Amino acid sequence: MNDDTAHDDSANDDLGFSTRAIHAGQEFDPTTGAVVPPIYMTSTFVQDGIGGFRGGYEYARGGNPTRDSLQTLLASLEGGKHAYSFASGLAAEDTLLRAVLTPGSHIVMGNDVYGGTHRLVNRVHVPWGVSLSTVDMSDLDAVRAAIDPATTKILWVETPSNPLMKISDVAALATIAKEHGVLVVVDNTFASPYLQQPLALGADVVVHSTTKYIGGHSDVLGGALVMNDDALAEKVGFLQFAVGAISSPMDAWLTVRGIKTLAVRADRHSSNALAIAEALVGHPKLDAVYYPGLETHPGHDIAAKQMTAFGGMLSVALSGGSAAARTFAESTTLFQLAESLGGVESLIGYPSEMTHASVRGTELEVPDNVVRLSVGIENVDDLLADVLQSLDRL
Q: Is 59 a catalytic residue?
A: no
**One-letter-per-residue 3-state SS of 261-298:** CHHHHHHHHHHHHHHHHHHHCCCCCEEEEECCCCCCCC
Contact 294, 316 (CB under 8 A): no
Name the active-site residue from 20, 67, 212, 326: 212
Q: Is 61 a catalytic residue?
A: yes
Name the active-site residue from 57, 84, 114, 350: 114
Q: Is 260 a catalytic residue?
A: no
Q: Is 114 a catalytic residue?
A: yes
Name the active-site residue from 9, 94, 187, 204: 187
Catalytic residue positions, numbered:
61, 114, 187, 212
